[in-house]
Each structure stands twice: as C-alpha cells, then as structure tokens.
Structure 1
Amino acid sequence: MPIEPSDNKNTTAAPDGQQTVKIPAPLERSRFGGTQRRHERPDEDDAPVSRSDLSKGPEEVLEDREAHINWSVLLISSLVILAFSIWAIVMPDEARTTMKTAVDWIAINLGWYYVVTITLVIGFVLWVAFSKEGDVRIGPDHSRPQYKLVTWVAMLFAAGVGIDMLFYSVTGPVVQYLYPPSGEGSTSAARQDAVVWTMFHYGIAGWAMYALLGMAMGYFAYRWDMPLSIRAALYPLLGKRVRGPLGDGISIIALVGTVFGVATSMGIGVVLLSVGFSLIFGFEQGLTLQIALVIGAVILTIAATTSGVDRGIRWIAELNLWSAVAMMLYILFTGQTAFLLNALVENIGQFIVTFPARTLQTFAYEPEGAEWMGGWTLFFWAFWLAWGPFVGVFLARISRGRTLREFVIAAITAPVLCDFIIVSLFGNSALFEVLQGNTAFAELAVQSPEQGWYALLGMFPGSTFLIWLATLSGLLFYLTSANSGAMVMSNFSASIPDPSHDGPSWLRIFWAILTAVLTIAMLFAGGVTTMEYATLIFALPVTIVAYLVMASFYKVLRMERAEREGRVLRRPSIAPIGGHVPERSWKQRLEQLRAYPSLRQVTQFLDRTVRPALDEVAAEFRNQGYNIEQDTTTNVNGIEEPLLRVSMDAFRDFYYHVAVVEAPVPMFSGRMSRETDVYYRLEVYTQTGSGGYDLMGLTKQQIIDDVLERYEAHLAFLTFSSQTDTASVLTPPKGAGEQAGS
C-alpha cells in the first residue's frame, strides 16, 4: 500500500520501489519472545489474571448498564436491621445483656484480631503510598483533580468527623486520667497519656480504613468505569462472581455494618444534642427529646431528597466546618491559651513517639485489659470499620484525578491533625479543671459524658454564646451524617453504573427511616453503651471485607506494575526518541514552541492529515488479516474524533483515539503576543488515558509511525504481562499447577 516516502523503521520497500506499512506481528507470533501462551479462562467466572481481563470488568460486574435496585441486598439487609430493632425495642434488657456477653467474648478472644487487622490496614495504605504504584491516578492517566488542595483537604475533614468526636473529646481524656488501662490513676504518667489515648483512637487508624476503601472504590470507578461499590473493588479477586450471591453477601455485610455505624453516630449525637436543646430552649431531657431529634433528622433528610436541595446539604457541610473552627478558636483564646498550646505540642509529640507500641497494644498482662479494650480501642476500631464504606464513597467522589500517593498521605495527615486539635483543646481544657481539684466535674464527665461536655462549655466566658455555637456545630455534624448516610446506603443497595449518580429518592428515604428506627431501638435498649456493643459485634464481618479489598487491590497494582514494566522493556531498536512522543524534525520542534492553534485549525488538520493517516494504516491492518474497527466519538464541540481498535481476542484490545483537547496558553511562551487564553491540541488516548503529547504539525507518515509505535508498545506490555505472574496466589490461572509440575 503506497504511503509517503520515509526512512522510518516502520516501513519497508515494495517491489515497485514504494514504501509500505510494516505491521508488527500479533502476540501469538510475536518477535518479543516467540509464541506466547494466552491466559486461558475456561470458566467465565474466573477472576481476572491480567489487565486485559480487567478491562472486561464494566460488563462482568454489571448485568446491564441501566441503574436498578438490588432487591436481594435490600431485602436481606433490611430484615436483619429490622429484626434487631424489634428485638431491642420489645426486649431491651435481654438485648443489652446478650450483646454485653457477646462483646465480652470478642474482647477476650478476638481483641488481637481487631488490633492486627487495623495494623495491617495502616501498613497496606502506607505501602501503596510509597510504592512505585503510588503515582497511579484515581482515574485515567490524563485526569487531574477537580478541587484545589485546600478545598479538598477541608472536604476530607468534613467527611470523616462526626458528632461522636465532640462526645468523647471530654470524657475520654478524663476517664483515661482517672482510670488508665495500666498503672495508677491520677498520676503524672496517666496525665501525659490521657489525651494521647483519645488522639490515638481518633487518629491514623480510622483514616487509614477510610483511605483503603476510598482509593479502592475510586480506582475501579474512575479508572475502569465500574460502579462505585465494594463489589466492584473485589472484581480482580472474585471475577464475575461479584454480581452473584457471593457479591450480594459482601454487599450485605458492608451495608449492615454501615447502617450500624451511622446509627451509632446518630444515637450518640442525639444524646449530646438533647442536653444542648434542653439548656437553650428549656426542653425536658430524656428519651422523648432524643427520639424527637431523630425524627427531625429524618424529616430534614426527606425534605432534602424530595425537594432537590442537595446543594443546601453541601452548604450545611461547609458551614459545619466553619462553625467548628469558630468554636475551637473561641475555646483557645478564652480559655487557658498558653497551657492548651503547650499541651497540644506535647500531645502530638507523645503520639508520634508511642504510636507503634499503641497500635499493637492489647494489654494482655493487665487483669482488666480485655474489658478496657472492649470499651475503648476495640469499639473505635469497629466504629472505623463500620464507617469505612460510608466515608470511603465520599472520599472517592471528591478525589478523582488524585494519585494514590497524595490521596493516602493527605487522608492520614491533614484531617488527623484537625482531629488532634479538637481532641487536645477539649480534652486539655477538661483536664485543667480536674487538675484544679474540680472533682464534681470529673465525676460528671465520667458518669454522663454529654452532661460533662456542656458543663465544660459553661465554664468559659460568654458561655451562653459558646453553648449556642457548640450546639449548632454538633447539629450540623449530625444532619450531614444523617443525609450522607442515607445516600450511601441507597447506593449500596442498588446497581448504579455511573459513579456520579445516586440511588433513587424513595430508597434514600427508606434508609433514612430504617436507620432512625435502629437508632431509636438502641436508645430504648440502653443508649450509648448498647450502641457501642452493637457496633463492635456487627463490625466483625466487615473485617473480612477489609482483607478482601487489600488482596484485590494488591493484585491490581501488580497488574499496573506489569504494564509499566512492559513499556520499559520495549526493544531499543523500535523505541522513538523521547519515549512515546513521535520524533519530530528540529524545524517542527521549533515551530511547535510558538504554535497555539485555534479550534478551526485543529479541525482542519484532523480532517486533512490525521484521518487519512488512520484510514491508510487501518486498511493495511485489514489487508494483513487483523480484526480492526474504525469508529468516531463526538466531543462537546460537536467534532467527530477518530478511534482505532484492534481486537486481541482474550487479551486487552489495542486502542488509539485522537481527541481534541482544550489547553491554556502558557503565560510565558515563545509567541510574542497572546490573542486568546486557550488553544487546542490533538492528543492520543489509550484505555488508561492521554499519552500527553500533541499530534499537531506532524506529517501523515509520522502519525502512521506513531500508531505502529503505540501498537508495538502494546504488544510488549502483553508479552511482559503474560510472562509475569500477575495472578494473585489466591486466584492463579487454571492449569498453572499442572504446568509448574510438568
């Protein structure tokens, strides 16, 4: 087939002296190592063993591309929660006693398991952040973050902080000072550790769990076009089984755990807020007021769902952040400022020094160690496990375009530091009163944490204002969790292909009501203590989900590494100068430095040069027996962008898409004047995103060469991935054992 004359390595001379396209051989007869063994998947339910299998995920995870309710998950989860709620309301004493027995057994026999699980989660997310795969983006390679860093960090903080932190910020330090897990109480050692224990419980462990589930769900949703769900994150491990009974079972575990976590946070919230409403409005404290607050949250959630005021809920979340900041500044500057700042610095230093030892601390040698662990560390670990899927969905949504490294590092540093400030300011303010001999306050903080919190606020100047501000802040935390929780639960009980969409309104209303029923049931059965018991019990199965997600994500990161290594292992004789960037003459390079073409110029070049080049190379692919498809996609400007796809059968298809991309004109450029702020580029996209270079100004022959360079790089990747054991030891390719033993 005649093309423009060239000395390029991807052409060869025809008998008549003209140049012809030289297509690399397909993988079965590849020059990169002879005939290659394909990963055979005789069973269509087998888990994927390469990225070529992984690319089939969107079709295999979903039965169809239409959103629909997953009735088995919805009904079974609802029945479990409803049955528990009825039991707790009808037989509250029996429910409380039974759960106490179960919690005691877990604390004695499985406390180590919770500790090891959280430790492994922390280690895993740190490994992801500092590994080579930390550069992988939550989305295509060309994607960039939607939010500025400061805005994003603020949203991270708002996502993972609930009203429960306010509840425990006073009672936690006071209890650890008077009744420490080891040693004598009311001593210097107990005083140094009191606030640090609460910081530890609200520190890196919880955010590591959020980061694990957030980055896993976001990666598969935005990089592989799968649903934003737990089952999609397990596709590399379980394959097509994720949409069957096994996947439903995992979704049920995650959903039930999430409901109990949200209900516990709401229950703690209403217990705390009921005191504030009583002080401000004169309402009588008790179960009636608490139930009224739960019903109020449900009504506001329904209003937000049915009237389309989700923007208002987002505004509430932002107001929540600023009210919390105002409250902390007020406490800092009207309280013991110097003492609070000194204590904050010392607390953070003590946390850093003792963190490894605390992480693996089980108090095996303490007589009451299991009881303390069950009431504090194990409860908080269970709480973070239960909240993990809930917060993970939100973190994934706001983090598209971030690398795994910046996602993890930001999640376990910036919000954690904000948590430390809140806990330290409240906790040290409470300790200051106790150290001054205020024993009545100390007893109140231990026996009735909600009363102790408001009693502390009443000791500051302008206490009426502070109580109003603190109640407003707590109410905003409470409403945000209630509404967001209903949204996430609706997503988990439905199959939604588009990660940007949510479950139907009626489903959000259903979950808001059912969560409220569960919250009221636990209030009947004993209040906060019963909620702690339930969380610890129902979070136990969620630990299995955490292990499965780590195994699945580890497997897919090995696939990412295989693709990167495949790019590196391309033969030097066929590698273009500058890696994937097409080789240009020095005049073309100089011209490109000052060229900022308009949309019209780019469209003309696309029609006159790019399309003919792709037509010719596609024709030669067909002539040599390749299964190649030519297609177009229409962009936002109405321009049809060309697309080539070479079918590789069981392997991942070759994909070459030329897209029109708008870009800002550099502030300092080779051009003497700027007539516009934007220009347009013709970028090449593969299945993992943009190659990052521009085709504008190339000749037709250079574009053909670029297609072949890309195709040869794709063959190199497939060869490397077929030679590398990208399969997890949990899901080896069928027949691997027989081949190994032959």
Structure 2
Amino acid sequence: MEKAKTGIVFYISIGILILAVIIGIFAPDILENVTAAAQSFISTRFGWYYLIVVSLFVIVCLYIIVSPYGRIKLGKPDDKPEYNMATWFAMLFSAGMGIGLVFWGAAEPVYHYASNSPTAEVGTDEAIKEALRFTFFHWGVHAWGIYTIIALCLAYFKFRRDARGTVSSTLSTIMKTDGALGKTIDIIAVTATVSGVATTLGFGAVQINGGLSFMTNIGSGFWTQFIIILVVTFLFLLSASTGLNKGIRILSNTNMAIAALLFVFVLIFGPTLYSLNLFTDTLGKYFQTLPAMSFRLAPLTEEARDWIDNWTIFYWAWWIAWSPFVGTFIARVSKGRTLRQFTAGVLLVPSLVGFLWFSVFGGASILLESEGTAAISELATEEALFGVFEHYPFGIVMSILAIGLISTFFITSADSATFVLGMQTSNGSLNPTKKVKFIWGIMLSATAVILLYSGGLQALENTMIVAAFPFSVIMLLMIAALFKALKEEKPNLKAEKERKKQNKAKADPT
C-alpha cells in the first residue's frame, strides 16, 4: 500500500477554507454580498461561455465513444474491472446526483409548470411538456458529460500512464506540473470540490429539515439544519473510517435499493400511464431539440435571459464545481474498463435513469397540481416530495424512507468527498490517511454550515458558481492534454489491430 503524504496543496486549501469560515462567522453579510456580486458578474458576462464549453464536453464524449480510441483500456491490457457493472453504476450514481434527484425530483418540473415556465404560458399543457423537457436538459447528458471528461482524464493518466491521481497530473503532456503551477491547479480543483460538495450537503440538510418539518412540529431553520449536519457528519466520518470497499460500496448499494423502492412505489400508486407517456414524449423532444437548448441564451429578452441565468447557468456551474469530486471518485472505481465502455456508461445510463426519475416524480407532482388536488408548487422546494407522498397510500412510511434515503445519500456523498479530497491533497494517493479524510470531513460540514448561516441556499449557490468558473478553464486544458496523449497511442492501436487479425487468421486458416 502506497504511503499517503500531505503537502502544500493540503495546507493552502485548508487555510483558504478556514479563512472563508471565519469571515462567514464574524461577517456573514460580507460573505453573502461578495459571493452574490461575483455570481452575478459571471452569470451575466460569461453565460455564453458556460453554454459553449459544456456543449463541447458532450461533443468530446460522443467522439470518444465512436472513435478508435474507444478500444483503449483504462489500465494495462490485462487489467479487469474491480467492480461488477451493477455496483459500478450504483457507486457513480450515488456520488453523482443522489441528493439532487431527491431534492428536485418532484419540485423542479412542477415549479416550471406552475410558476416559471422557460418558454410556455404557465399552467398550460405546453408548460407541462416544457417543464419536463428542460428538466431533462439540466440533468441529462450535459451534466454527465462534465463528469465524464474529468473522470476519463484522471482514470486514463492514473491507470494507463501511472501518473499521480491529481488534477494537475492530467496536464503533464502539455505543461510542467511539478512546480507552483501544478500546485495552483490542484488548489483550484480542491476549492471547487469543497464548494460543490458543501452546496449539495446544504441541500440535503435543508430537505431533511423540510421533511421533518412537514410531518412533525419540528421547526425549519438554521439551528435545526445545524443539528442535522452535526449528526450526519458523525455518521459519514464513521463510514469513512471503514474504507472504500466497505462503507461507500455498502451505502451505495443501499441507496439504490431505497431509491428503487420509492420509484416503484410512485410508479405503481401514482399516475403510471401518465408518467410513462410523459417520459416517452419528452425523451423524443429532448433529443430533437437538444442542439437548440444547448445554445439558448435569449440575448434580446431580459426575462428569458434571467431564467437561463437562474437555472441553466446555475446547473452548469453546479456540475462543474461538483465534477472534481465526482470525476475523481468515478475514475477511482473504473480501472479496467475501455474508454468506449466507460464513456457510454457514464454519459448515457445515469442520464436515462434520471429521465425516468423526473418523469415519475415530476409527473406525479404536476398531475396533482394541474387537477387541483394539491398546490405542490406553493410548498417550499424541500417539501415538494413530501407533499406528493401525502396524497398516496402509506405516505408517512414513504416520507420516512425518503428522509432515510436523503440521509444515506448525504453520508455517501460526504464519505466519498473526504476520500477524494484526501486523494487530491495527498499527492494523488489511492489510500489517503484517516486523519486527512477526517479533517476534510469536518471542513466540508463547517463550510456547508457557514454558507447556510450567512445566506442560506442562495449563498451556497453563489459560492459554487464562482468556484466553477476557473475550474472550467482547467477542464479545457485537460481535454487538450488527453487528446495529445491519445494521439501517442495510435501505434499501439495499429499493433493491437494487427495482432487480432493474425490471431483470427491462425484460428481460421481457411
């Protein structure tokens, strides 16, 4: 087992976060105002950049799938996958979008339908279609394309070229990364990771609080959320002490089992045919209009542009900020798969599962709203899911299971993040020490608490958008470095193709 050593990346990253936490404690208004101003500037001035760069990531992924490079293995020729396909999907899905899907599954579609449709008149049949189509857009191949780029680069350089498992090491083919520049790149990656993970943990705490508040007399507010984060921090640090193959693997499979149970429940007791029809119709429109949605900026309509800034740009920044964590984790569990298998699996399968999830939960909430049965859109975002369950048999049981699912997703995400941050700040070690993971676990929770204290979810979102911007530039450099490395593989690909021809000829001499 390799020995993990911390260095300057660890100490500078921790120092930056401690400074942010101190400012958040003693001057919360300053933290909120600064992040809000930076977020507004980036969204307004560079919205076009986000749309172009994220679409480019998807195009690169599709090219990898169909190109000859897809035959290259993430590892040595004889390496086999460490995890079976089901466990692999469960682990990447739990790390990638778990809390987000539960938080937004019933809320985002009904909000677009009833309150703020992107292009249609609210409350109409057309608004229903638009609500699902744009939800698919925000949670589909663009989101997973961002994750795929990071994971692919990290896994290729780590397992194929024996590089360190750090973000800077993926740029070794186009620049020297052993000095200050490499350390700076890794620090940017770490701070982006912390902001993305802290945002999602904040969402999780708010929704657990929302569920408890919806079902009981427990109040909703910062101190309740603080206690929730405190309890969950203890649980995920306990899980982190057990290692990757125990805590995270077991929790990931548990997450998928509970999520599947909730999905099947709503599919059966909810509007089954309605949801399936919505899924099929929206899937077709999603692929039909994907290019137009990918570059939609509405430069001449202020209201439409505000919607894009608040939703699409927010999501692209969220996925970019979240991507160093998710990408590193997916890379860690993907050794032995080919580039084609890996890219197709990460890009397409989770997207399809997410589309089904939103069709079932979003379809259920929209139908309740459109028929006048319940005003789901008037509930707080974190309470929408529980508002849907209230109108079904065994609603209390399902709500309790949902809170359990959010908690286990919370634990899995934070547990995975402590591993990834430990890896990134221990010179790429695949076995960061428990001490380093515990420090990062505490810092993640402290960051989430301070951001909630200083400005609630808005402060979380602002910070994440700001942190994502510089990391998006690093991602572009990672793509350039990857393709330079892949070009060097061409002789190997030709030799491998020739060997297969010769082996086939020997096996079939006729």
Matching residue within 330, 333, 354 for 2:265: 330
Instruction: Check conservation: 1:576, 1:583, Cα contact below 8 A.
Output: no
Task: Tell whether 2:424 aligns with 1:492.
Answer: yes
Deviation of 1:346 after TM superposition, in Å, equals 1.4
Deviation of 1:203 after TM superposition, in Å, equals 0.7
Task: Tell whether 2:74 aligns with 1:138.
Answer: yes
Q: Any idea what the Cα deviations from partners look like across 1:557-589, whole Å, max 9, x if unmatched?
A: 111114445788xxxxxx9996489999x9xx9
Which residue matches 1:205?
A: 142
- Cα distance in 2 between the residues matched to 1:344 and 1:549: 35
Task: Tell whether 2:57 aligns with 1:121.
Answer: yes
Which residue matches 1:357?
A: 292
Matching residue within 136, 141, 148 for 2:84: 148
Matching residue within 323, 330, 339 for 1:404: 339
Please show how residues 53-132 of structure 1 align to structure 2 within 5 Å: 67-70=4-7, 72-132=8-68
Which residue matches 1:474?
A: 406
Which secondary structure does the structure 2 equivalent of 1:364 belong to? coil
Please show how residues 231-250 of structure 1 align to structure 2 within 5 Å: 231-238=168-175, 241-250=176-185
Amino acid at match of 2:422: S
- Cα distance in 2 between the residues matched to 1:348 and 1:255: 35
Deviation of 1:246 after TM superposition, in Å, equals 0.6
Higher relative strand content:
1
Deviation of 1:84 after TM superposition, in Å, equals 2.0
Task: Tell whether 2:110 aligns with 1:181.
Answer: no
Instruction: Check conservation: 1:207, 1:416, Cα contact below 8 A.
Output: yes
Which residue matches 2:367?
A: 432
Instruction: Check conservation: 1:107, 1:378, Cα contact below 8 A.
Output: yes
Task: Tell whether 2:415 aligns with 1:483.
Answer: yes
Task: Tell whether 2:479 aligns with 1:553.
Answer: no
Change (3 A) 1:97 1:576: closer
- Cα distance in 1 between the residues matched to 2:503 and 2:399: 62
Amino acid at match of 2:403: T
- Cα distance in 1 between the residues matched to 2:124 and 2:505: 71
TM-score, normalised with respect to structure 1: 0.65
The percent identity for this pair of structures is 28
Which residue matches 1:697?
A: none
Tell me the C-alpha RMSD between the 2 structures: 2.4
- Cα distance in 2 between the residues matched to 1:138 and 1:513: 33
- Cα distance in 2 between the residues matched to 1:190 and 1:456: 20
Amino acid at match of 1:226: A
Instruction: Check conservation: 2:4, 2:433, Cα contact below 8 A.
Output: no
Change (3 A) 1:136 1:93: same
Amino acid at match of 1:140: K
Q: Any idea what the Cα deviations from partners look like across 1:343-370, whole Å, max 9, x if unmatched?
A: 1211212211111111111122221233
Which residue matches 2:351?
A: 416
- Cα distance in 2 between the residues matched to 1:174 and 1:577: 54
How many correspondences in the alignment?
Answer: 507
Instruction: Check conservation: 2:90, 2:252, Cα contact below 8 A.
Output: no
Amino acid at match of 2:317: A
Q: Which runs of 4+ in 1 moved over 4 A?
A: 279-282, 306-310, 565-568, 575-584
Change (3 A) 1:141 1:277: same
Which residue matches 1:225?
A: 162
Change (3 A) 1:66 1:475: closer
Which residue matches 2:386?
A: 454
Higher relative helix content:
2
Instruction: Check conservation: 2:240, 2:247, Cα contact below 8 A.
Output: no
Please show how residues 596-611 of structure 1 align to structure 2 within 5 Å: none
Q: Any idea what the Cα deviations from partners look like across 1:309-361, whole Å, max 9, x if unmatched?
A: 96134212111100000001101111111211111211212211111111111
Change (3 A) 1:363 1:439: farther
- Cα distance in 2 between the residues matched to 1:439 and 1:279: 14
Task: Tell whether 2:105 aligns with 1:169.
Answer: yes
Task: Tell whether 2:467 aligns with 1:530.
Answer: no
Change (3 A) 1:435 1:581: closer
Instruction: Check conservation: 1:66, 1:496, Cα contact below 8 A.
Output: no
Instruction: Check conservation: 1:169, 1:198, Cα contact below 8 A.
Output: no
Which residue matches 1:260?
A: 195
Deviation of 1:391 after TM superposition, in Å, equals 1.2
- Cα distance in 2 between the residues matched to 1:431 and 1:257: 34
Which residue matches 2:301?
A: 366
Task: Tell whether 2:424 aligns with 1:464.
Answer: no
Task: Tell whether 2:478 aligns with 1:543.
Answer: no
Which secondary structure does the structure 1 equivalent of 2:488 belong to? helix
Q: Any idea what the Cα deviations from partners look like across 1:166-221, whole Å, max 9, x if unmatched?
A: 21222211222231233432233222110221121111111111111111111111
TM-score, normalised with respect to structure 2: 0.93
- Cα distance in 2 between the residues matched to 1:580 and 1:429: 56
Instruction: Check conservation: 1:280, 1:468, Cα contact below 8 A.
Output: no
- Structure number with larger C-alpha Rg: 1
Please show how residues 543-622 of structure 1 align to structure 2 within 5 Å: 543-565=472-494, 579=502
Q: Any idea what the Cα deviations from partners look like across 1:3-37, whole Å, max 9, x if unmatched?
A: xxxxxxxxxxxxxxxxxxxxxxxxxxxxxxxxxxx
Q: Any idea what the Cα deviations from partners look like across 1:444-492, whole Å, max 9, x if unmatched?
A: 2xxx201223212211111111111111111111110011111111111
Q: Any idea what the Cα deviations from partners look like across 1:263-318, whole Å, max 9, x if unmatched?
A: 00000000000122345665333211100111112212332344669613421211
Which residue matches 1:645?
A: none
Deviation of 1:405 after TM superposition, in Å, equals 0.7
- Cα distance in 2 between the residues matched to 1:348 and 1:252: 39
Which residue matches 2:436?
A: 507
Instruction: Check conservation: 2:107, 2:381, Cα contact below 8 A.
Output: yes
Amino acid at match of 2:168: R
Change (3 A) 1:271 1:539: same
Amino acid at match of 2:52: V
Please show how residues 282-321 of structure 1 align to structure 2 within 5 Å: 282-306=217-241, 311-321=246-256
Amino acid at match of 1:522: L
Q: Any idea what the Cα deviations from partners look like across 1:710-732, whole Å, max 9, x if unmatched?
A: xxxxxxxxxxxxxxxxxxxxxxx
- Cα distance in 2 between the residues matched to 1:582 and 1:170: 57
Amino acid at match of 2:447: L
- Cα distance in 1 between the residues matched to 2:259 and 2:50: 31
Instruction: Check conservation: 1:250, 1:545, Cα contact below 8 A.
Output: yes
- Cα distance in 2 between the residues matched to 1:163 and 1:582: 52
Unmatched runs of 5 consecutive residues or more in structure 2: none
Amino acid at match of 1:220: F
Instruction: Check conservation: 1:172, 1:198, Cα contact below 8 A.
Output: yes
Amino acid at match of 2:452: L
